[in-house]
Amino acid sequence: MTDVKKIFVKTYGCQMNVYDSERMAEALGAKGYVTTDKVEDADMVLLNTCHIREKASEKLYSALGRLRALKNAKPDLKVGVAGCVAQAEGAEILRRSPVVDLVVGPQAYHRLPEMLDAGGRQVDTDFPVEDKFTLLPERKSLRGPTAFLTVQEGCDKFCAFCVVPYTRGAEVSRPVSRLLVEARGLVAQGVREITLLGQNVNAYHGEGADGAWALSRLLRELAKVDGLARLRYTTSHPNDMDDDLIAAHGDLPALMPYLHLPVQSGSDQILKAMNRKHTADSYLRLIDRIRAVRPDVLLSSDFIVGFPGETDADFQATLDLIRAVGFGQAFSFKYSARPGTPAAEKTAVPAPVADARLHELQALITGQQRAAQEAMVGREVTVLYEKPGRMAGQMVGKSDHLHAVHVSDPDGRIGQLKRVRVLASSSNSLAADPLFTIE
Ligand code: SAH
Ligand code: SF4
Ligand code: F3S
């Protein structure tokens, strides 16, 4: 067994990268690599990077700096950089960091095994015409009861602040038949919940037997897969929430009552400058339509504060929108100028102003988040057990509304769906007692 080698994979950024990391590890598995969670044991280190904000790419270079000692001690160590910084900076990474052997973009990673075979320092940031997914080995890692499934990649929206259209390329949807095969394969391995992924997942328009299918139709078909109890999807753009997708939230029990729908700002002037192509009002009306079919849906969003030109009044409009919607969860970021994006040319809001706004916005969101979680106390909810908790006899999983729930259940098993009663809410999770097993 001298040819068993170990690979350590570190993932930054979004869920799409989590999915890609798994697929890259599997592609290298075909070359005899097994994964390790100890970097010092690794024969290869793969950093799957994110370029969305400045801090995200700085993380890569500090991680590479830390790898220098390991590479000196182990000259045969291979270091690969994948993901969106790889796409954006390409060969520049080899120049900046002598420890790096391979740089591979998000659309080229199926070529990792042959790049390793070829030896030497290499870069591949092509957007090949063939679909990388067809060239990757079948998914077969041991896994828990939840899985991601990438159905769509890339983005044609070109929001003025965002690097994704440049790092991930144009929107491409995977064909329906392949997704059904992959989903059924996951369920056969014990997966009970699948989250469909895409940078613009609700723009999905994959080829079906009779033309292009929308995301709603794909969800309706997946809901028929025996053994698949839960479906989620992320991330959506407000402009791509079509009528049938909204309707699906009302009539598909497997589609969970949780929707991440980034709005970015509540000011029409800022939304226009961001090239978002929706207004605060159109967003609020959309939320009303979703709540009309699924009143208990828990809404989540992304916000950017301090976008160039954002005034106090613009920021107040964002707070007003947050108050009007009531989010159960949200991510908020200080605007970060990204090279090559249109907004990067404009004058930024002074950092202390942006910091203060971010702080205020986060306090408002935290309050809403806490209220949404506390509203669950006393209620019966369904939990999918994902792992044992830290305490003996405890199981941890997610509720339909994606709240983390700790259940005192010595009989609990991973993969069970249980009805539980919520007893208490702490800062990041709910505590519950089991009632009965659903499946
Ligand atoms: N496709 C998704 C999200 C993509 S990136 C969408 O359309 O909403 C995830 C989040 O990062 C974005 O929603 C945005 O809030 C944030 N983000 C993207 N670029 C940013 C930038 N330059 N500065 C700060 N936050 C940014
Ligand atoms: Fe970026 Fe906008 Fe595309 Fe989302 S929709 S990935 S924010 S360009
Ligand atoms: Fe980051 Fe690329 Fe995802 S920039 S957020 S890893 S698409």
The model's confidence at residue 4, banded by pLDDT at 50, 70 and 90, is: confident
**Ligand 3 atom nearest residue 52's Cα:** 4
Between the CA of 56 and the centroid of ligand 3 the distance, in Å, is 9
Domain assignment present for residue 410? The answer is: yes
Among 419, 310, 409, 328, residue whose Cα is nearest residue 371? 328
Q: What is the CATH number of the domain that holds 120?
A: 3.40.50.12160
Q: Measured at the alpha carbon of residue 142, what is the angle toward residues 141 and 144, in degrees to the nearest 5?
A: 120
Q: Is the pLDDT of residue 2 over 50?
A: no
Domain assignment present for residue 138? The answer is: no
Cβ of 264 closer than 6 Å to ligand 1, yes or no, is yes
d(CA 180, CA 320): 42
Q: Is the pLDDT of residue 318 over 80?
A: yes
Contact of 232 with 252, CB cutoff 8 Å: no
Choose the final residue of a domain: 124, 141, 158. Answer: 124
Q: For a substitution probing ligand 1, which of 17, 200, 304, 332 has the most ligand atoms within 8 Å of its CB?
A: 304
Choose the final residue of a domain: 124, 150, 170. Answer: 124
Q: Where are the alpha helices (DSSP H) in 97-214?
A: 112-118, 132-135, 164-167, 176-188
> Residue 398 is part of which domain span?
380-437
**Ligand 1 atom nearest residue 331's Cα:** 15
Cβ of 262 closer than 6 Å to ligand 1, yes or no, is yes
So what's the pLDDT on residue 141? 67
Q: Is the pLDDT of residue 16 over 60?
A: yes
Between the CA of 241 and the centroid of ligand 3 the distance, in Å, is 22
Residues 6+ apart with CB under 8 A from 252: 219, 220, 223, 231
The neighbour count for residue 3, using CB atoms within 10 Å, is 7
Query: What is the tally of structural domains in the chain?
Result: 2
The model's confidence at residue 142, banded by pLDDT at 50, 70 and 90, is: low
Reported as a single tens digit per residue, the pLDDT across 265-283 is 999 999 999 999 999 999 9
Q: For a substitution probing ligand 2, which of 15, 52, 153, 155 has the most ligand atoms within 8 Å of its CB?
A: 155
Shortest-distance Cα residue to atom 6 of ligand 3: 50
SS3 at position 304: strand
Contact of 272 with 314, CB cutoff 8 Å: no
**Ligand 2 atom nearest residue 235's Cα:** 4
Q: For a substitution probing ligand 2, which of 199, 275, 276 has the most ligand atoms within 8 Å of its CB?
A: 199
**Ligand 1 atom nearest residue 332's Cα:** 15
Residues 6+ apart with CB under 8 A from 230: 192, 193, 194, 254, 256, 384, 400
Q: What is the CATH number of the domain that holds 405?
A: 2.40.50.140
Domain assignment present for residue 111? The answer is: yes
Amino acid at 118: A
Between the CA of 109 and the centroid of ligand 1 the distance, in Å, is 23
Among 262, 77, 254, residue whose Cα is nearest residue 157? 262
Q: Is the pLDDT of residue 18 over 90?
A: yes
| Widest distance between CA atoms in the chain | 66
Between the CA of 397 and the centroid of ligand 1 the distance, in Å, is 27
Between the CA of 411 and the centroid of ligand 1 the distance, in Å, is 42
Residues 6+ apart with CB under 8 A from 263: 238, 278, 280, 283, 301, 302, 303, 321
Choose the final residue of a domain: 101, 124, 147. Answer: 124
Q: Is the pLDDT of residue 30 over 90?
A: no
Q: For a substitution probing ligand 3, which of 19, 50, 171 has the most ligand atoms within 8 Å of its CB?
A: 50
Reported as a single tens digit per residue, the pLDDT across 229-248 is 999 999 999 999 999 999 99
Domain assignment present for residue 95? The answer is: yes
**Given the structure tokens 């002598």, which residue do they identify?**
98
So what's the pLDDT on residue 439? 83
Q: Using the 8-state DSSP alphabet, how is residue 350 labeled?
A: P
Domain assignment present for residue 406? The answer is: yes
So what's the pLDDT on residue 267? 98
Domain assignment present for residue 293? The answer is: no
SS3 at position 421: strand
Range with the poorest average pLDDT among 135-149, 221-235, 246-260, 320-334: 135-149
**Ligand 1 atom nearest residue 237's Cα:** 7
Q: Using the 8-state DSSP alphabet, how is residue 20 labeled?
A: H
Mean pLDDT, residues 295-310: 98
Reported as a single tens digit per residue, the pLDDT across 166-214 is 999 999 999 999 999 999 999 999 999 999 999 999 999 999 999 999 9
- Compute the Cα dihedral for 339, 344, 350, 356 and give only its sign: negative
Residues with CB under 6 A from ligand 2: 155, 157-159, 162, 164-165, 199-200, 237
Residues in the chain: 439
Which tokens is 119 given? Answer: 């030896």
Q: How far is CA 186 from CA 136, 143, 226, 410, 416, in A?
A: 16, 9, 12, 27, 16
Residues 6+ apart with CB under 8 A from 293: 246, 247, 249, 250, 251
Range with the poorest average pLDDT among 14-18, 142-146, 188-192, 259-263: 142-146
Q: Is the pLDDT of residue 143 over 80?
A: no
Between the CA of 158 and the centroid of ligand 2 the distance, in Å, is 6
Q: Is the pLDDT of residue 1 over 70?
A: no
Domain assignment present for residue 357? The answer is: no
Between the CA of 47 and the centroid of ligand 3 the distance, in Å, is 13
Domain assignment present for residue 188? The answer is: no
Mean pLDDT, residues 71-99: 94
Amino acid at 54: E
Reported as a single tens digit per residue, the pLDDT across 360-378 is 999 999 999 999 999 999 9
d(CA 215, CA 217): 5
Contact of 67 with 45, CB cutoff 8 Å: yes
The model's confidence at residue 427, banded by pLDDT at 50, 70 and 90, is: confident
